[in-house]
Amino acid sequence: MNRILLLLSAFLYMRLSVAQPSDVRSHTVLAGNQVRVEIFVTSWCPYCRRLEKFLTSEKIAYVRYDIEHDPKGRKIYDSIGGRGVPVIRIGQTVLFGFNPVEIKEALRLSGKQKNMGLGTISSDADIADESFRKVS
């Protein structure tokens, strides 16, 4: 039994560590004073799916990074202290896990309202701002 758990752990570690072809899906191009919302997810995470459904239902545009398949997304995830998924970056605020109340509060504090719908698809989103504030 221990051997199976060890093999499973090694497999999961390898899946998270190996950079694979990009799977970045940018759901919007932001303009003006709208704050950027980025989510860092995996394909197998049920809370990541809940997060995406929540953001879509609230008409909040976001940039999605699958950290298992996108080296750039993984690099950003690591640089902001990513630990587990999902991780949400709203402007300079970083949230860990899926908590709708915290997300709404971070959006409110950033000056962003629920007025941002899904927009143009772009796969070359520029992530130059590495500054952030962690919220746990």
At residue 22 the predicted structure's pLDDT band, cuts being 50, 70 and 90, is very low
The residues facing 64 across adjacent strands are: 25, 39
Question: In terms of pTM, does the model score above 0.85?
Answer: no
Query: Is the CB of residue 39 less than 8 Å from the CB of residue 90?
Result: no
**Per-residue pLDDT tens for 56-73?**
999 999 999 999 999 999
pLDDT tens digits, one per residue of 92-133: 999 999 999 999 999 999 875 444 443 322 333 433 333 333
**Pairwise CA distance, residues 29 & 63, whole Å:** 9
CATH architecture classification, 20-135: 3-Layer(aba) Sandwich (3.40)
83-119 burial, b at 16+ Cβ within 10 Å, e below that, comes to eebbbbbbbbbbbbebbeebbeebbeebebeeebeee
Return the sign of the alpha-carbon dihedral for residues 120, 121, 125, 130: positive
* Whole-number average pLDDT of the chain: 73
